[in-house]
Every structure is written in structure tokens, then in C-alpha cells.
Chains A and B, each alone.
Chain A
Amino acid sequence: MELVLSAGIGVLTASGVWLLFRPRTYQVIIGLSLLSYAVNLFIFGMGRLRVNAPPIVEKGGAGGLLTHTDPIPQALVLTAIVIGFAMTALFLVVLLASRGLTGTDHVDGRE
């Protein structure tokens, strides 16, 4: 389980970093999205992988790490997903504006 997920994180990171270095704005936006998947999964993985142990406690009871998975990385990642969306949106609009303004989709605004 851990091996598969970490391999996945590795591939997502590598693809994201590769795209980050590319000259076209659209490549960078896809790269950032891939990278944010990788980072979100990485943070999530820091709470260790558990099957069938969602952090939902019994009514009136108290939970523990023995019976439930770590809720903190999940809370972190939840906001990160929404912020990641906001970042993608902002970057997309800047990309479009830059394309309209400079006439090229190169990241520097000129070939």
C-alpha cells in the first residue's frame, strides 16, 4: 500500500516538476495541478495509511489513534484542495490575459 502510494507520489512529482520547467503557460498550469496532487497526497500520507478507520467518532464518545486515522493531515489537505483550486483559477486567468496581451503563450510573454 505504502509502496504504491509513494511511487504514485513520485511519478506525480516528477511529471509536475518536468512541466514546471516547460516554456508554455498551459504546461505550467497542468504541472502545478499535478504537483499539488502530489503534495496533498504526501501531506495526507504523513498521517499514515489506514483502511476503514475514518476520523468519525462515536456520539458522546472519544476517539483515539488506535481506532481512527489521523485527522490533522486531512484537515490540512481539505483546505489545501480548495486553495489549490483558487490558485489554478487565478493562474488560468493570468494565463489568458497574458496570451491576449502579449500574443504568445510563452511564460516570459515573449518567445
Chain B
Amino acid sequence: MLLILVLAPFAGSLAAICIPTQKGTAAAWLAGSIALLCLVISAGLYTVISSGTPLRYDAAWLPELGLNLTLRMDGFAWMFASLVAAIGLLVVIYARYYMSASDPVPRFFALFLAFMGAMLGVVLSGNLILLAIFWELTSIISFLLIGYWHHNANARDGARMALTVTGTGGLCMFVGLMLIGHIVGSYDLDVVLSSGNVIRDHPLYTTVLILILLGVLTKSAQFPFHFWLPHAMAAPTPVSAYLHSATLVKAGVFLLTRLWPVMAGTDEWFWIVGLAGLTTLLLGAYFAIFQQDLKGLLAYSTISHLGLITVLLSLGSPLAAVAAIFHTMNHATFKASLFMAAGIIDHETGTRDMRRLSGLFRYMPITATLAMVASASMAGVPLLNGFLSKEMFFAEAIETHKYNILDTLTPYVATIASMFAVTYSIRFIHSVFFGPPPQDLPKVPHEPPHWMLAPIYFLVFSCLVVGVIPALTIGPFLHTAVQSVLGIATPVYSLAVWHGWNLPLFMSLIALVCGVGLFLVMKPYLTTSIEGPPFFRRLEGQRIFERVLVTLSWKWARSIEMRAGTRRLQPQMRILVAVALVAAAVTLLLQGFKPAAIAFRSIDPAFALIWLIGMICAIGAAYQAKFHRLAALVLLGGAGLVTCLTFVWLSAPDLAATQLLVEIVTTVLILLGLRWLPKRIENPDDPELMTISTRLRRLRDLATAVFAGIGMMLISYTVMTRELPETISSYFLERAYSEGGGTNVVNVILVDFRGFDTLGEIAVLCIVALTVFALLLRFRPATESLETPEQQRVQNAFDDDHPDRKKGDSIAEYLLVPSVIMRWMFPVIGMLAAFLFFRGHDLPGGGFAAGIAMSIAFILQYMAGGTRWVEERLRIHPLRWMAIGLLVATATGLGSWLFGYPFLTSHAQYASLPVLGKIPLATAILFDLGVFALVLGATVLILIALAHQSVRAPRAQMRAAKMAAKENA
């Protein structure tokens, strides 16, 4: 049942979002029935709850993290859940008539229902983490609801502010709740509630308290975080009535009450909660008097009343907690009805400005009467529910709980705030409903549709009934709620209207009389004054908030970017390498790294000689790369060949084959690229070379490079001279044949055991090839490289000089014999590729090597015959090959699903396939075929795309010539 209670609104929300925009009524019906369902469920659960044992629903979610989907309903949660569902139902009825047909109404109801679900989640969570999740959900949905009219800048700003403030608080609270979980050892609410002493005595108590209070105070709009609530009034009025009077802002108070048994009673609690509450109570009431916007007045009044509840909770006495729970209910009823009344006034007159409104009693007597009763309850007039809880508050304020100044001040502050409450309540009624008839209103006012008034009827009626006969109506429910929070500490309290002539009654009378007097004094000022209270008008929370935001997200961010950021690559590279070096060095030193002693034994002279050449090549490449690119490329190839030889020497035939082939392709590729890279001419007299700063910079780079090199050398030497620990390698070696059906373990790992990784790798290769292809489609070579290369020019000149030769003959005849051999090589290399491919599973080779070998066959044809010659004779579709390769590899993987095995399971062990000769025919070979096709396609695509530039270059030359001609003209 609990699960349905929480999930039904979310399901309804999903359904509502699917309703077309015009069918607003259908969405309202849906929302109404969901709210009714929730109300019925919670009503039906009352008999179980009232027995005193909480109802629980447990479902494992992430039990290892202590996070379970625990829902828990005790009396207090029941009271809140019923409140959420009941007021939700009333607001839905109201909103059905309030929302204009031009608004996207289904979206409104979808968000509304989602909020209801999140709120029910908060009150019903039996797990702290779950509670925090629902808590954040309410913040996010309230952001969307406040910003519902997103074309309105005020709504957007208000929504953003509400989200920033409550979201930040929520994060702090989340940390606090996790700390509680850490202290108690469980996130379960029942466990937490029974370990109050552990939490209060823990050294982290103050931290936890402050973090949780940050969440609570921001959510319940307590000073100094109150400023978001008035700005949230840009929301549609049903949202304000629901979120900002009855539910969302009560979430903070709810959590405060929920944790009251475990956290209250200490001095820290008293001071922080009490100070925030008292300030809010007083300032909220004071600010409310000076509002000109109806909803603004109600917003500040809400802030003040929430402050009252907070003060009650701060006192730490059980009676005060009873009063707090009672006032939470009462406030929800009268404030929701007042918001609805304000919405009606706005709806029917077109304005909420109290300076323009007056004398509306004549036009809408029913609304006026209802609003008067509700605001009398807000002011604390006897025989209404607001009076009862206020009397309880006064009685508690007089009591001494702690001997300090704050406690002494409480009764005075309470009386003054109550006086202010009377003043703003009268102001609300008087300025709107009495006085001369209104002038030039946007609309002619009249009574709203009957159903729009119905929710207010109901709420005001309950104010009256509770106010007159509290013990018979709210009594039992309140008792169940109080008992579930306080347990055995539940005090004896009386819900009677009349307690005799006592001090609280006198305080009420003083507040009433003085409040009326204050209103009469202030009236002339208020009818003309501008928005906001005197003295505090300038000290607006919003401005401070905006300033903080601008400072944080703009000024500081900019200055950090200015100081620490650079768009130049070289400093970034230096920082990157430096960070890597420092990170490695620190880690090694902290772990007590000792480089192994260097032993010169067992050095094979031949191997050493090879590496001597390798090192010379590497250093030479580094030295020559700036001005002698071809030399650097040759030296790079030398280093690559040494690497390749090392692989041969040290039992890695697969690597050696692949390295050799890749080396060839890379060299060809860079050679093709060099054609378009204009030569750099060395200038020994360049003044920049001589400056000290240049030399220092080079010296620093050299030092870093040498440091990095020595570091790598030490680490690799130390690791290589140690014993190999037991790794998963043995697993692969043992099972390569029995499970993978191949004897070449490296290949079996690639295409079988770790096939998924390989699939990712070839996808990357595919993406790179496509990127290269796309980049070269719109390639504009450097203008200096556009003209025909020197060699071709010489050859053409030779042709021009000899009348018996046509232009281009020399180029065609150049390297005639080698090119014939290269053409003949095509089938040979193709055979080699096939050989490498088929033996791959058992012997060195495989799809990667075969693919690259085959691509070399193609590129040789291009080199021998030129682009046009090859493409007239061979159909080359590298894009298709790549697509086929990727499809084959993926399909092979998917194929194993057909047989009920996980993705990419090899089938060699499961099905006996007809074996062709000695070829190991596992399904892995199909996968390898995919790899082959893709590698071939990608390599050929990259190389050909670059080679094609020489076909395109003449066109570019012509374009450049045209441009030059234009400029000259």
C-alpha cells in the first residue's frame, strides 16, 4: 500500500505528460483521481497506524551501501501524507478553474503530480538516503513549477533562486545525513531514531547539526535564507497554495520534527534553531506588513509562521513539540485557503497590488467572507484553529527552558510578532475588500466559478470546526502523530478553547489590541508607500544572492581563467607532463620506492648494439625534427625497427609483425603528408635563438625531458628485474586452447576472451578514419605547397625541351621497373595477408596484421600507377569495407545471443563445425574477419584520402591563380 501511495503520483505524472496540450480537463481529472486515491489509501491506513506501530515496506535496492527502498509510516508521517494528499486534491480542483486554457495544462498537472509523489516520498522514507533523494526531487520539481510560465523573466529568476538556495541546502543536508549514517552505522530511520544519545554525544554532533540545519532552514525559508520564498511567488497561485504554504516549505519543519527526538535538547540546537526561528518570526511578520503584493504579504507571513514553528521546536520541550505539530496543520489549512483567495482576486480583477484594490466586498461577498475567517485564524482570533496553537506557543514561550537571554526574550518577541500578524491580517482584508469601489481595474470583478470556491469552503470550515471543538475533531489524529514522534515522552496537553484567565490569553489580547492600533496608525502610510519595509528595503536578500552568484560564477571564474588559463599549447603540455611527473614521483616516494641495483651481467652485446642504434635514432629524430623532416622521419623509422626487433627477440612475434607493418604504413602516410607541408628553412642568424630566455626555456625543457626519461628507465628496470607475480595471465594461458580453440594466446585474448575490448578498439579506428576522411574533404593545403613539386617540374621541363616527348611522359616512365614489380606484388601481398589471417588463431598473425598487410598491397598500387590508373582498374570502397567489418564483428557477437550465451561468446567449444583442412574454424575467426575488413578499410581510407589531394591540387592551383588575377585587377 505504501509503495502504491508513493508510486501512484509518479505514474500519474507520466500519464499526464502524454495527454495532448488541449485536453487540460482530462489532465485535471487524472490528477484529481490520483490525489483522491492517495487520500483514500492513507485514510484506510489510519486504523493500522493509530495502534502505534509504524507500517514498513522494505525492498533491497543497494543493500551493500546501506541503501534500501524502505517506506515507513507512523502517525506523524501519516498526518503529513494525509495533508499532502488532501490539500493536493483541493488544489487540483482549484487549479482546474484557475489555469487558463492557453497554458500547457497537462504539463502543469504532470509536474504537480510528480511533486506530490516526491513529497509523499519525503514524508514516508524510512531510509535517510532515500529521504535525501526525494528531498532533492522536491527541489527540482519545485524549480520547474515556479518556472512554469517560463516566458516570464521573474518566474525564471525566482525558480533559479529557489533551486540554488534549496539545492545547496539539500546537498549540505545530504552530507549531514550521511554523517548520521556513519555515526549510527545504519541509514535506517528506526535505528537512527533509537540512537539519539549516540548522536548527541558524538564529537561530530555540531557538524552534523549545522549541515542538517542548512538543509532545513533553506527549505523552510528561515532567516537568513528566507529571501527565495517571496520571489517564488511568480509561480501560478495553485503552486504557491500547495508548495509554499502546505507542503514544500513544511518539508524543512517536517525533518526538524522527525529528528527532534535524536538531535534536540542541546545548547547548540537551542541557540542555532532558536535564533534562526525568532529572527524569522519577527522579521517575517514585520516585512509582511509593508508588502503591496497580496502574495508577497502571504509569503512573508508564511516565513514568519514557519519561524514560529522553528522556535517551538528549538525549545526542546515535548509540549512545545506538540504545539509545533499542531501549528503545522493549522497553518497549512488557513494559509492554503488564503493563497487560493488571493489567486481568485488576481484572477477576477487582474491585479494583486493592494494599492489598486479596494472595496471588493460588494463584488465578491462569499470570497471576502471566507478570506476574512481565514485571515482571522492567521491573526489568532479566538474560536479559530490559529488561536489554539498560538496560545500553546505563548504558554511555551513563557516557560523557562534554558537560563539565557534568548529564552528570556522569547515571550516579548512572540507578542510583538503576534501584534504584527494582527496588523498584516487586517491590512490584507481591509485594503482588498473595504473602502471605496476600485478604480480602473484590468477586469470587472465578480464571484469566481462555484468549484473554485469549494476548496476554500472546505479549508475555512475546518479552521472553524477545529477552532471550536478541537478535542473532538483533530484531537485523536494529533495524538497519534505526537505519540509517534515523542513516544513515551508524550506530555499531557489539553486542546480546550478556554483555559481560564491566564498570561497567554492576556498576551493574545495585547497583541490583538495593539495590532489593530498599529494598523490604524500605519494605514495612511501603507496605502501610498512603495514596496518593502522601511530601513530593510535596501538590504535585500535577492541582491546579496545575485551578487554572490555573479562574483562566484563570473568574476572569480574569469580571474582564475585569466591567471591560470592559457590558450597556448606549450605551457599546457609542460603543465601536463610536470603534473604527471610529480604525481608519479610523489606516489613512488611515499610508497618507499627503491630502484633496483643496476647489474651489468647478462647483457647480450648484439641486443645492446641494436639499442645503441635505437637510441641514436631517437635522439637524432628529436634533434632533426624541426628543419630536416625527412631525416627525422627516417630516424623515427629506425627507432621503430629497433622496437620491432626487440619484440622479435623477446618472444612477441605478433607484436613484431604488427609493428613492422604499421611502421611501413605510418612512414608512407607521413611521406604523403610531407608533400603538403612547406619546407622550413633554417636561419642561423635568427635573433630569437640567441636570447637568454629562449635558452633558459630550452634548458628547462631538456631537464624535464631527461628527468622523465630517467624516471621511466628506473621504474621499468626495477619492475622488470622483479619476479612476475601471479596474474590472470596463467588463466589465459591455460584456457586458450580448451576454451578459445586457438594456440596463439595473444590472438585468442583479442578475439575471444577480451573480444569486447577489441570491438571498442576497431570502433575507435573506424571513427578516426571517418574523421580523417571528413577533414580532408574540405582540405585547403598551404598555398606555398600548391605548385608542382620540383622533381615533377624538372621532368616536365625535360619533356618540353624534347619535341619527340609529350608532357608527362617522364613522370609516367619514372621508376618503370620498380613499378612493374610493385604491380606484380599485389597478389603476393594479398596471399601473405590471407596467410597471416588464417593462421592467426594458432600462430602469429591475425586480423590486425592481415588488414594492414592488405592495405599495403593497395597503397603499393597507388604508388606504382598513380591514383587515376588504380581507380580505373580496381573498385576500392574502403567505407563499405569498414561498414561490413563492423557489422560482421558485431553480428558475430550478437550471434551468441541466439544460442543463449552472453555477447561475444566464442562458439568453438559449443558446436562442432565442419573443419576445412587444418584451419581452426571457431566463430572467433568470423570476428577476426570483421577486424580484418575494418582495419583494411580504415587504413586504405586514410591513405587514399591523403593521396587524393594530389588529384585535387591542380584544381586548388587554378583557384589560387584566379584569386591572384582578381587581386591584381
Contacts and interface: CB of A to CB of B under 8 A. Distances in A.
Nearest to A98: B782
Interface in A20-66: 20-24, 26-27, 29-31, 33-34, 37-38, 40-42, 44-65
Contact of A30 (B622, B678, B771, B946): B622
Contacts of A87: 768
B716 interface: yes
A89 B772 CA distance: 7
B729 A72 contact: yes
B720 A49 contact: yes
B724 A48 contact: yes
Interface stretch (B151-159, B209-217, B643-651, B788-796): B643-651
B775 A97 contact: yes
Interface residues of B, number: 114
B187 interface: no
Interface string A94-111: 111101110101011000
A17 B244 CA distance: 61
Contacts of B598: 3
Contacts of B599: 3
B603 A4 contact: yes
A81 B659 contact: yes
Contacts of A21: 570, 573-574, 577, 701, 704-705
B709 A13 contact: yes
Contacts of A71: 729, 732-733, 736, 745-746, 749
> Closest 7 interchain pairs by CB?
A14-B709, A10-B713, A63-B733, A6-B717, A18-B705, A15-B622, A86-B768
Interface in B731-765: 732-738, 743-746, 749-750, 754, 757-758, 761, 764-765
Nearest to B949: A96
B717 A8 contact: no
B381 to A, nearest CB: 75
Interface in B760-780: 761, 764-765, 768-769, 771-772, 775-776, 779-780
Given A10-B713, A52-B651, A57 B736 contact: yes
B652 interface: yes
Given A13-B712, A54-B653, A92-B669, A1 B603 contact: yes
B611 A55 contact: no
Contacts of B659: 81
Given A21-B705, A46-B720, A82-B761, 12 more contacts: A2-B721, A12-B618, A16-B622, A18-B705, A22-B701, A26-B632, A37-B639, A65-B730, A78-B746, A99-B678, A99-B782, A108-B567
B322 interface: no
A53 B639 CA distance: 24
A79 to B, nearest CB: 5
A1 B717 CA distance: 10
A82 B765 contact: yes
Contacts of A86: 764-765, 768-769, 938, 942
Interface string B676-705: 111010000000000000000000011011
Contacts of B670: 29, 88, 92
20 contacts: A3-B603, A4-B611, A6-B717, A9-B712, A12-B709, A20-B573, A24-B680, A26-B632, A26-B677, A34-B618, A41-B646, A47-B724, A69-B651, A77-B655, A92-B946, A93-B946, A95-B673, A97-B776, A97-B780, A100-B676
A78 B780 contact: no
Contact of A38 (B712, B730, B734, B769): B712
Contacts of A44: 647, 650, 652, 655
Interface string B924-940: 00000000000100110
A11 B618 contact: yes
Contacts of A65: 724, 729-730, 733
A14 B737 contact: no
Given A41-B646, A100-B781, A19 B622 contact: yes
A22 B143 CA distance: 50
A50 B650 contact: yes
Contact of B724 (A4, A70, A77, A105): A70
B450 interface: no
A58 B130 CA distance: 56
